[in-house]
Amino acid sequence: MDLETKYLNDLYNSRQAKTYSDVSALFESNYLKILKLIPLLKQTAHHSIIHHDAAADLHLMVDQRFTHTGIFTLTHILDGSIHKPDIKFKVYFDVQLLEVISVCNETTLNSSHPFLAQCNDMNIQWELNLFIEKWLDYCLDKYQGKSWQML
C-alpha cells in the first residue's frame, strides 16, 4: 500500500461510525433550517425562486407533494442549464425531518472514494445530510428574508 492510500485508509477508518441517533438529529436540525429558509414550505406546491442581485438565484423545485411529505430540489441554475448543487430531499412534515435523497443525482458525495465500500449506510446518510446542513447555512446567510416567487 503506497503512502497516499495508507493515509486515506487511516483517515477514513479513523472516523467513528455514525449511529441512527446521530443521523436523526441531523435530519431534525435540517428540517428547522429549511423552514427558516422557506417558511411556507408546508404550503408550497409550485416551483419557486428567490432573485438575488449579488448572488445566483435560488430555485426550489417541487417534485412530489403529499399531505405529510414532499420531495423537493434546491439548486442554482447556472448559465441557463447547469444545476448546482441540485440537492434533492424529502421532507416529512408530520415528524419534522428532512432527509437528503441525492446531490447532483448522486446518492453518495464521493462515489470515487477508494474506501467507499467500507462505509455503512449511516455514514453515507451522514455525509449527504451534513452537506445540505452546510448548504442551508450558506443559503440562510445569503437568502433569508428574501421573498420567494412562484414560477
Burial label for 37, CB within 10 Å (0-12, 13-18, 19+), is: buried
Q: Would you state the cell numbers that stand for residue 60, as one nine-digit string?
A: 426550489
pLDDT given at position 58: 94
128 domain residue, yes or no: yes
Cβ pair 73, 23 in contact under 8 A: no
Contact assessment for residue 8 and residue 1, using Cβ atoms and an 8 Å cutoff = no
Residue 68 and residue 60 in contact, taking contact as beta carbons nearer than 8 Å: no
Residue 26 lies inside a defined structural domain of this protein:
no
Does a structural domain hold residue 8?
A: no
Beta pairing class for 149-150 and 97-103: unpaired
Nearest to 146 by CA among 78, 84, 43, 53: 53
Angle at 118 between CA 124 and CA 19, to 5 degrees: 45
* 118 part of a folded domain: yes
Structural domain total, the chain: 1
Q: What is the pLDDT of residue 151?
A: 86
Examine residue 15 and state whether it is found in any structural domain, yes or no. Answer: no
- pLDDT at position 5, please? 63
Specify if 20 maps to a domain: no
- The predicted model scores a pTM of 0.81
Q: Closest Cα to residue 143, out of 44, 48, 29, 42?
A: 48
- Is residue 2 in a domain? no
Domain residues for 55?
A: 47-146
Dihedrals phi, psi of 128, to nearest 5 degrees: -65, -45
DSSP annotation of 129: H
In a domain, 84, yes or no: yes
pLDDT beneath 70, residues of the chain? 1-15, 105-120
Q: What is the pLDDT of residue 11?
A: 47
- Which of 17, 76, 102 has the alpha carbon at shortest distance from 111? 102
pLDDT of residue 13: 58
